Amino acid sequence: MVDELAAADGFRLSVRKAELSSPISKPVNAVIPARALSELARIVGEGDQSIVMVMPPGRGQVLFRLRDAELVSQLIEGNYPDYEQIIPRRCDTRTVLSTSAFLKSCRQAEIFAREGSHIARLNIAPGGDLKPGTVEISGQSDETGSNQNVVDASIEGNPLLIAFNVRYLREVLDVIHTPNVALETTQETSPGVLRPVGGPEANADSFLHVIMPMHLG
C-alpha cells in the first residue's frame, strides 16, 4: 500500500509517496491541518521512529502515536482540491544539476532578492559537444545591487529564461537530499517541477514539487 501526502498553498505543491509498513483494509482520505503536521515533524525530529496514525470513526479527528508521545488534531471538513490537474504532464526542457550547488546559489540570490519581491531569474542555457550546459541564478535589489551564480548542468531541450520565488526554491531544496535535482520546465509562464535525482528519494516518483513562475518584468 502507498501513502500519498500532498500540500499546496496556491503558489506551490508538494507530493510525497511512501510505502506503508503494514497494509490497510481500504483507502482513507483525510485533510489534516498543516500546523498539526508541523508539530508532528517537530516532535519526531531527525529520528527514524515509526508513527501510527489512527482516525477514530465519527469523531473527525486524527491521532498520531509515537514512542513517547501522542498528538491529536481535528480534521478539516470537505474534499481536498484535485491537485493532479496542476502537475505538468510534459516538459520542453529538463535540467539536472547539483542539489547543493543549486541550493547555495539560491541562498546567495535570496540575500539580494528579498528586497525585490523575492524574484530569482534562472537563465537555462544548454551546452554543446565540448561544454556542459549552465544555469545562471540571479537576484537583484535596487538598494543592495545584484548577484549572479552559474552552475553547470545537464540540459535536454530548449534554452529558457524563467523566474521563481527564490524563497520557495530554497525551501524545497532544503528538503531534497539526493546528490542532484531535476528542474522540468516548458515556458516562462508555466509551472516548473522539481524532482530528486540519484538516490532512494528518486525511486518511483516518490517526491515532486510544483512551483509557479513569477512575472519577468
How many percent of the chain have pLDDT more than 70? 94
Q: Does position 109 have pLDDT exceeding 80, yes or no?
A: yes
> What pLDDT score does 112 carry?
87
Q: Cell numbers at residue 102, please?
A: 543549486
Structure-model confidence comparison of residues 162 and 142, the more confident one: 162
CB atoms within 10 A of CB 189: 10
> Would you state the pLDDT for residue 87?
93
CATH class of the region 86-211: alpha beta
Q: What is the pLDDT of residue 181?
A: 97
Q: What Å distances lie between residue 61 and 9, 39, 41, 58, 79, CA to CA?
A: 22, 16, 18, 8, 15
Cβ–Cβ under 8 Å, residues 105 and 113 = no
Predicted local distance difference test score (pLDDT) of residue 2: 62
Q: What ranges do the domains of the chain cover?
A: 30-78, 86-211
For 13-62, write each residue's pLDDT tens digit: 999 988 877 777 788 888 999 999 999 988 887 767 788 888 888 889 99
Average the pLDDT over 101-116 and give the result.
89
Q: Could you please report the per-residue DSSP string of 132-200? A: -EEEEEEEEETTTEEEEEEEEEEEEE--EEEEEEHHHHHHHHTT--SSEEEEEES-TTS-EEEEEESSG
Cα separations in angstroms, 65 against 25, 54, 124: 19, 8, 46
Per-residue model confidence (pLDDT) at position 81: 87
C-alpha to C-alpha distance for 82 and 164, rounded to whole angstroms: 23
pLDDT (average), residues 196-205: 67
Q: Give the residue, 23 or 2, on which the prediction is more confident.
A: 23
Assign 204 a pLDDT band (cuts: 50, 70, 90): very low
**Phi, psi (rounded to 5 degrees) for 54:** -125, 135
pTM > 0.75: yes or no: yes
Quick one: pLDDT at residue 18? 83
